[in-house]
Amino acid sequence: MPAFCAVDFGTSNSAVALPTSTSVELVELEPGHNSMPTAMFYAVEGLASFEDPQLHYGRAAVAAYVEGVEGRLMRSMKSILGSALASQATDVGGGRTVRYLDVIGGYLQHLRSMAQARAGQTLTQVVLGRPVFFVDGEPQRDAAAQVALEQAARAAGFADVAFQYEPIAAALDFETTVQSEQLVLVADIGGGTSDFSLVRVGPGLRQRVDRRGDILANYGVHIAGTDFDRQLELAYLLPHCGYRGRGPGGREVPSKVYFDLATWHLINTVYSQGRMAELQHMQGFYSDLRQHARLMSVVRQRLGHTLIGQAEAAKIAVAEVGKTVLDLGALEDGLHSAINEPEAMQLIAADLDLIAAAADETMVQAGVPHARVDALYFTGGSTGLAPLRARIAARFAQAQVIHGDRFASVARGLGQHAQRVFGTASLRRER
């Protein structure tokens, strides 16, 4: 097996592809999973010395944070590229500081070690995915972001580093099937952002290494799956705990705690002793004392992340079968909440419209009419939501609809590009 791989270093999730004799394969990064959360947790709890925090990656990192282990969770590290934070340090617990760029390097090093274990050899060459723009409208900062990511990859042990644009990578699989030049609109919709890229593909373009000129336009919005989950939790779960409830005088119960419980990175702030004491003293704000009791159960039992997980599961179930019933027995025995598709989709309709409008804006920026689009290529976890796909597809009725691997299309495409960049070079050296 050649000594190269491809890494989809994503904002929310990451994946690694390795070449095979016929195509590429994804590396199992965690048991049963070919992708994992882009997350690291520096744990200091239980260590004899705080000078050397234990490191956890992916789902284990998220689990440690959710369980309340003392330490620091680092997520969405990709977002610091192109900012001043890349060269700055942050406290990771126990009085230790780590540069943000070293956090990224450490995560890439972990991905490389997993790939090397699968490949059975040292991997020194890598193709990394990158967005069309790390930083919109600021070319110098955008270039600096790629330089910083390359530095992190070299620190992780890669000697040769190449890049490919993520929308190009997503479109590469589709490109192998076309017999003439076509325009494909890549819709990459994940947990935090919805990105659209109009890409030119064709048999005469496949061997090009530099594909920047084939991206006719790129546009996105910071609305995606986690926003849907938040809306559903606020509408169907947290009202049982007093959200939008009324007090004895008819005044609405203060809502800040509920917005914090519905925002992933703010949940643990609700569990502090001071915050819990404050919430306990708010009992008199509630006409229905059962709602306050359920809220305190959420806080004392640290159920905030569980509720977000239930909201996400409900979103998926409603999208697949049209309805679901949430078991809220953790709050109160026998408590349930029913959700059906029409109501749920109405809740997130405004968000869906904003995402679909981003597809329109992409076409405006490209100066290309909708009717010219030959194919829609869907990738990213949130494209599993059929009503969202339908909203977008309705704007391009003449286009072929392609459903890529929601979590691995970019990684596979990057793997194909790595074969062209490093595989060909390897063959030349062997000859």
- Asked if residue 146 belongs to a domain, the reply is yes
151 and 253 part of one domain = no
pLDDT at site 90? 85
150 and 13 part of one domain = yes
137 and 232 part of one domain = no
CA atoms of 100 and 74, how far apart (whole Å): 9
**What proportion of the chain, given as a percentage, has pLDDT over 90?**
65
SS3 265: helix
Domain that holds residue 111: 4-158
131 and 42 part of one domain = yes
Whether 191 contacts 76, CB under 8 Å: no
CA atoms of 392 and 396, how far apart (whole Å): 7
Instruction: Specify the DSSP class assigned to residue 47.
Output: -
| Chain segment 216-249, per-residue pLDDT in tens | 999 998 888 889 999 999 999 999 999 999 999 8
What's the average model confidence in pLDDT over 196-201? 95
On the question of pLDDT at 13 being above 70, the answer is yes
CA atoms of 412 and 104, how far apart (whole Å): 21
**The length of the chain, given as a count of residues:** 431
- Asked if residue 342 belongs to a domain, the reply is yes
- Asked if residue 406 belongs to a domain, the reply is no
228-231 contacts at long range (C-beta below 8 A, 24 or more positions apart): 228/315, 228/348, 228/351, 228/382, 228/385, 229/308, 229/311, 229/312, 229/315, 230/262, 230/263, 230/308, 230/311, 231/347, 231/348, 231/351
H-state helical runs in 176-268? 225-232, 256-261
138 and 279 part of one domain = no
Last residue of a domain, one of 120, 137, 158: 158
- Asked if residue 139 belongs to a domain, the reply is yes
pLDDT at site 427? 41
Residues 6+ apart with CB under 8 A from 244: 252, 253, 255
- Asked if residue 80 belongs to a domain, the reply is yes
**Chain centroid to CA 207:** 29
Residue with tokens 């000859």: 431
20 and 117 part of one domain = yes
pLDDT at site 50? 47
144 and 230 part of one domain = no
Domain count of the fold of the chain: 2
258 and 337 part of one domain = yes
232 and 146 part of one domain = no
SS3 177: coil
11 and 152 part of one domain = yes
335 and 231 part of one domain = yes
Last residue of a domain, one of 158, 176, 196: 158
On the question of pLDDT at 167 being above 60, the answer is yes
DSSP β-ladder status, 215-221 and 323-327: unpaired
146 and 263 part of one domain = no
Last residue of a domain, one of 347, 367, 400: 347
- Asked if residue 249 belongs to a domain, the reply is yes
The type of residue at 116 is: Q
pLDDT at site 182? 96
Q: How far apart are the first and last CA of the chain?
A: 17
Q: What is the 3-class SS of 105-134, one letter each residue?
A: HHHHHHHHHHHHHHHCCCCCEEEEEECCCC
- Asked if residue 427 belongs to a domain, the reply is no
CA atoms of 402 and 389, how far apart (whole Å): 11
122 backbone dihedrals φ, ψ, rounded to 5° = -75, 135
327 backbone dihedrals φ, ψ, rounded to 5° = -90, 110
Whether 148 contacts 103, CB under 8 Å: no
| Chain segment 322-339, per-residue pLDDT in tens | 899 999 998 999 999 999
* CATH number of the structural domain spanning residue 8: 3.30.420.40
Residue with tokens 């059962």: 290
